[in-house]
């Protein structure tokens, strides 16, 4: 997923949009994963897609399902990470 997030601006727009359409359902599903790091990576990847290709998300056939998953994740108990500052 990290690699996918990194190449979003590289290839042609049509190639990236087709990859997004294939991967988007899996990425959104990972936002509900039981592991926090997987959730964070999926969220960051989805954020990157939304920044560069927002219509790929909004026009996806499963957008209503995606929005339900995203709303549930927003309402989930937040995690607070300790940092060594």
**Could you read off the pLDDT of 12-68 as tens digits, one per residue?**
777 778 888 888 888 888 888 888 888 888 888 888 888 888 888 888 777 777 777
What pLDDT score was predicted for residue 66? 78
DSSP annotation of 32: T
**Gap between the Cα atoms of 6 and 81, Å rounded:** 24
Q: Which domain holds residue 40?
A: 2-75
Cβ–Cβ under 8 Å, residues 71 and 32: no
Residue 67 CA to its chain's centroid (Å): 12
In the prediction, which pLDDT does 81 show? 59
**Separation of alpha carbons 74 and 83, rounded Å:** 22
21 lies in a domain? yes
Asked if residue 81 belongs to a domain, the reply is: no
The number of domains in the chain is: 1
CA 69 to chain centre: 11
Structural domain includes residue 85: no
């Amino acid at each position: 997923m990290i690699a996918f997030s990194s190449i979003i601006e590289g290839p042609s727009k049509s190639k990236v949009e087709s990859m997004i359409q294939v991967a988007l359902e899996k990425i959104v599903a990972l936002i509900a994963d039981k592991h926090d790091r997987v959730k964070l990576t999926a969220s960051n990847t989805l954020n990157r897609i939304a920044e560069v290709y927002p219509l790929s998300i909004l026009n996806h056939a499963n957008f209503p399902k995606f929005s339900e998953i995203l709303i549930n994740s927003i309402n989930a108990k937040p995690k607070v990470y300790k940092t060594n500052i």
